Amino acid sequence: MKIIGLAEIQKRLADIDVIAAVEKCFADYSSGKIINPPPGELIFKDPPGDVHIKYGYNLTSNYYVIKIASGFYDCDPRCQGMMLVFSRQSGKPVALLDDQCHLTNIRTAAAGAIAAKYCAPRVIKRIGIVGSGVQAQLQLTYLRKVLDCNNVIVFGRNKEALAKFQPQCAITTDIEELAATSNMIVTTTPSHIPLLNLSHIKPGTHITAIGSDTPDKQELTIDILQAGDVIVTDSKQQAQTRGEIAHALAKQVIALDKVVEIGEIINGNAVGRENDQQITIADFTGLAAQDIAIAEAVYSNTAPI
């Protein structure tokens, strides 16, 4: 079994088109080509944290992948993890990717870029990033690969973390200021209390919510989902039990048939944004399919170990 450390993983990523790999995995997932069981998770109260176990395989692949990733929010670094690659023919472990959660962060950022590619308004007036951590930084990096917008504002409560975004971005501790001036918003926090409500949101805004990946996290009030013209998810199966959509379904303010998968839009089987007056919401809870795609890409890369 090969053990591939973080430094080598980062070298290999330089030769991989992560956005293309994740976009293909979304398309494959919605086409029924990926075995993606419900995730396992452990939730901790003291200290606060959560661990996600995601696993599966692509029907066209020779491997299966198991990913373990954790977030302990009072710790530094907050996130840790690894991905395990096994032969699908023998069950033999072929690689341990000691990525320290980097691959999870990267594939999540790529998903945000894909959501923007298919759902963002044609004219981006300003990008608003809710959160000031590693994922906020990566979302901005990957958004700039697909969007032409240099006007960015970042919201956070930690002034030291916010300062890292200057001078390239405006910063604020007032989320209403962010919402009032942005028509493309990405939420990246582990909040259990909604940060944005409908009164904050302007017509024509797109929101990508990626922080709410467990049943008890929530960044948006359910009235935002109710007002959404297009609601997109990575997995309708997962959306029924976790994320922003699950909260709205539980309160019966939306029906599941209003929700489409990003893979369905990529495959041309569903419609995303149709005009710049629509409110669109992409609620992604993270798929094993993404972990499979990025782990196999890193493992298969021919860079020396």
**Enzyme catalytic residues:** 67
- Amino acid letter, residue 165: F
DSSP secondary structure letters along 80-96? EEEEEEEETTT--EEEE
The string of DSSP codes covering 218-240 is -SB-HHHHHH-SEEEES-HHHHT
185 close to 208: Cβ distance less than 8 angstroms: yes
Q: How far apart are alpha carbons 293 and 13 in whole angstroms?
A: 12
What are the beta bridge partners of residue 155?
130, 172
Which residues are within 8 A (CB) of 163 and not within 5 positions of it... i.e. 6 or more apart? 171
Token output for 174: 């007032």
Q: Give the dihedral of Cα atoms 188, 190, 192, 197; nearest 10 deg.
A: -10
The angle, 0 to 180 degrees and rounded to 10, between the axes of the packed helices 102-119 and 288-300 is: 120
**Rounded to 5 degrees, what angle do the CA atoms 279, 212, 201 make?**
25
**95: enclosing H helix or E strand:** strand 93-97
